[in-house]
Amino acid sequence: MEEPGRLLLVAEEGGVLVGSGVADRSDLSGGFVCPRVLPEARRRGVGTAILRALAEHSESQSYQKVASVVEDEGSLAFARLAGFAEVDRQLQQIRQVATESPRVVPAGIEIVSIADRPELWRQAYDRLAETFADMGFTNTLQVSLEQWEREWIGTPEASFVALADGDVVGVASLKLDAEDSAKAENGYTAVRREWRRRGVAKALKRTTLAWAADHDIAEIQTWTQRGNEAMRALNERLGYRYATISIRVESALPLSR
């Protein structure tokens, strides 16, 4: 889908593809860039050229700073040389789906799908916007209502809200993998602060696991930020195991030379 302000690049050398790049808006830090170079073309200045082009585009969008994500020490060293500094680490957790235990729903709570009650998705935004500050990011995530309704829901029947007296107190969802129908990713999981430590989040997550089991999904992955230990601990109790570490880096614009 074409997005205003997004830049997509490919890099060729003698007509042969050697790299690519994406520049886009970030909900956290203004701009986001993602330069990629094939292993056989590295250490020849290709990555630097792609990064400079992406950074210049980000400047043209009036961003004051730009972020990226790396997953290995070589990429982290490259980012540091370009003037980026590490600001966060996210941990990937993976859960194999099998025959799932019955969920236990706390007294006074009802869990329904957005497919059955689509009007509740907007109410969830109104009730849960405060929880964006609790995710563990260095900056509070900025999500507009339009983004929430367009980007934060993938499969209404796999998106659930917890209700107390008809009012939304929590949400949990799954995003299906477009390339592998046996895989999914946890979407946003959150509970209003005054309703935490009552088992609401656990019941919501078990609801998504049960839905996954009923729809032939074998594996679910999720990412949690450094500082969001409560969600990470809940995932551990539900049987998630640790996998990849993703490092978020940021730099002021323009990039240092």
Give per-residue pLDDT as tens, 141-167: 678 888 888 888 879 999 999 999 999
Q: What are phi and psi of 142, to 5 degrees?
A: -105, 110
Q: How many domains does the chain have?
A: 2
Quick check: is 12 in a domain?
A: yes
Query: How confident is residue 138, by pLDDT bands cut at 50, 70 and 90?
Result: low
- The verdict on 48 and 126 lying in the same domain is no
Lowest mean pLDDT among 14-18, 25-29, 189-193: 25-29
Residue 201 near residue 161 (C-beta atoms within 8 A) = no
3-class SS of residue 167: strand
Which residues, other chains included, contact 68 with Cβ-Cβ below 8 Å and sequence gap of 6+? Answer: 32, 33, 34, 35, 79, 84, 248, 249, 250
- The verdict on 66 and 155 lying in the same domain is no
- The verdict on 186 and 77 lying in the same domain is no
- Three-state SS string across 216-253, please? CCCEEEEEEECCCHHHHHHHHHCCCEEEEEEEEEEEEC
Q: What are phi and psi of 110, to 5 degrees?
A: -120, 135
DSSP 8-state secondary structure symbol assigned to residue 106: P
The tokens describing 183, both together, are 């895989």
Quick check: is 242 in a domain?
A: no
Separation CA 152–CA 149 (nearest Å): 6
Quick check: is 237 in a domain?
A: no
- Burial code of 122-155, b = ≥16 C-beta within 10 A, e = fewer? ebbbebbeebeebbbbeeeeeeeeeebeeebbbb
- The verdict on 117 and 180 lying in the same domain is yes
- The verdict on 85 and 191 lying in the same domain is no
Quick check: is 64 in a domain?
A: yes
Quick check: is 257 in a domain?
A: no
Quick check: is 241 in a domain?
A: no
Q: Which residue range(s) make up the domain with 167?
A: 98-217
Q: Express each pLDDT in 215-252 by its tens digit.
A: 999 999 998 877 788 889 999 999 999 998 999 999 99
Quick check: is 234 in a domain?
A: no
pLDDT at 111 > cutoff 60: yes
**Residue 41, domain CATH:** 3.40.630.30
